[in-house]
């Protein structure tokens, strides 16, 4: 291994085999873009600034990352009293989830926006900082009015975790991949092996925690090498994962989105490990969302897009029980993953596209929950 090449990508900080400082682009790789629009709020500092300016919502630190960074949750609307007397799965076993949380027409619907748990996927962070700004002012950071979204904050209990992996966000050398090659996103997002070769998807999940055969620790992971999307949910390794699950259990969201990105047109990923009725709801929502992208002239999956309702492969497991699966089974929430484009050379999305995709998703979530509420009532 070329020792000089190993040392160059990182500011000096190596503790217990875990890289804990910001990764720097290697020689020959592009620099972090400098022409990022002001509305594109993609950094931890942008979160801090937005939280300090809030007057209508509240926020609290719910966890601390391995490197000592805060994980924040933002709250709007009064928290309901759900009169819980059992956990969700015990209540379902008793044939009524109302034993876990009573929901009727008098209780506010609850929506949970989970910001990126993969640090290089800053697009959801951009959207959520703008969403908070809309809740506070009615406008996004471009000055565009979103009166209907602001109105929903009066009708809902809203929980926002602006970023689920502050370690990875800080470590990523790029605040955006707009106009950059997908390979750069892969290199610094999923990391490289000691020989310099990329881990890449899906093999970036083949070593967990990501320790040992690591040159660049990808921003997928926190500073302990944990990918929160694939933590051990029966005994979570990351404090961030524990905090995310606790927020969900306490708040009992009707709908939860985990925000992700790839070099792709935007789409919802089906939650493979939920009951059929919930898969149908997710598929219905995904179809409507894609139609909204089409109607607005945004990147989309085409008119024939639909999600499968099939179970996993009959011969071998291929769909993982991941964080969105755990969120459903802990709370009954309609939970799914959303993939946004990065704006790489390959997917061609613009800064404007990315923000409009995010805000359209959020508006569609509010609308779907209002139109399709599920009540849990004692009989």
Give residue limits of the domains in the chain. Answer: 57-183+218-307+320-371
What Å distances lie between residue 308 and 286, 299, 318, CA to CA?
A: 11, 21, 14
Task: Write down the CATH number for the domain with range 57-183+218-307+320-371.
Answer: 3.40.630.10
Residue 295 neighbours by CB under 8 Å, 6+ apart: none
What tens-digit pLDDT sequence spans the chain (379 residues)? 333 333 334 433 333 334 446 789 999 999 999 999 999 999 999 999 999 999 999 999 999 999 999 999 999 999 999 999 999 999 999 999 999 999 999 999 999 999 999 999 999 999 999 999 999 999 999 999 999 999 999 999 999 999 999 999 999 999 999 999 999 999 999 999 999 999 999 999 999 999 999 999 999 999 999 999 999 999 999 999 999 999 999 999 999 999 999 999 999 999 999 999 999 999 999 999 999 999 999 999 999 999 999 877 788 888 899 999 999 999 999 999 999 999 999 999 999 999 999 999 999 999 999 999 999 999 7
Strand 58-64 relative to strand 70-76, pairing:
antiparallel
Q: So what's the pLDDT on residue 378?
A: 92
pTM > 0.85: yes or no? yes
* CA triple 217-39-119, angle to 5 deg: 15
> For 18, left (φ over 0), alpha (ψ -120 to 50), or beta?
beta
Q: So what's the pLDDT on residue 376?
A: 97
Q: So what's the pLDDT on residue 21?
A: 62
Q: So what's the pLDDT on residue 318?
A: 81
């Amino acid at each position: 291994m070329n020792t000089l090449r190993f040392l160059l990508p990182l500011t000096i900080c190596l503790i217990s085999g875990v890289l804990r400082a910001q990764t720097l682009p290697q020689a020959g790789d592009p620099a972090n873009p400098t022409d990022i629009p002001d509305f594109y709020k993609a950094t931890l500092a942008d979160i801090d600034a937005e939280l300090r300016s809030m007057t209508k919502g509240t926020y609290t630190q719910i966890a601390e990352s391995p490197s000592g960074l805060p994980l924040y949750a933002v709250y709007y609307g009064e928290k309901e009293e759900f009169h819980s007397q059992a956990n969700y799965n015990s209540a379902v076993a008793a044939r009524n989830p109302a034993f876990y949380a009573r929901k009727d027409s008098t209780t506010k619907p609850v929506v949970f926006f989970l910001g990126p748990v993969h640090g290089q996927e800053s697009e959801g962070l951009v959207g959520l900082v703008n969403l908070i700004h809309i809740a506070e002012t009615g406008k996004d950071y471009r000055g565009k009015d979103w009166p209907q979204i602001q109105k929903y904050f009066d009708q809902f209990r809203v929980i926002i975790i602006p970023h689920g992996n502050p370690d990875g966000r800080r470590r990523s050398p790029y605040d955006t991949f707009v106009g950059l090659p997908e390979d750069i996103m892969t290199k610094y997002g999923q990391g490289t092996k000691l020989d310099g070769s990329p881990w890449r998807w899906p093999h970036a999940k083949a070593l967990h925690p990501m320790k040992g055969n690591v040159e660049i620790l990808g921003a997928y992971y926190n500073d302990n090498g944990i990918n929160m999307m694939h933590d051990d949910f029966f005994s979570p390794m990351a404090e961030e994962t524990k905090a995310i699950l606790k927020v969900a259990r306490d708040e009992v969201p009707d709908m939860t989105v985990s925000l992700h990105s790839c070099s792709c047109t935007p789409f919802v990923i089906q939650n493979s490990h939920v009951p059929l009725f919930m898969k149908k709801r997710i598929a219905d929502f995904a179809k409507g969302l894609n139609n909204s992208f089409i109607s607005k002239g945004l990147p989309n999956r085409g008119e024939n897009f639909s999600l499968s309702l099939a179970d996993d492969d009959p011969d071998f497991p291929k769909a993982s029980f991941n964080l969105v699966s755990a969120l459903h089974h802990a709370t009954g929430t309609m939970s799914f993953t959303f993939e946004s484009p990065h704006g790489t050379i390959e997917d061609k999305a613009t800064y404007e596209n990315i923000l409009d995709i995010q805000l359209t998703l959020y508006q569609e979530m509010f609308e779907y929950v209002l139109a399709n509420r599920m009540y849990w009532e004692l009989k």
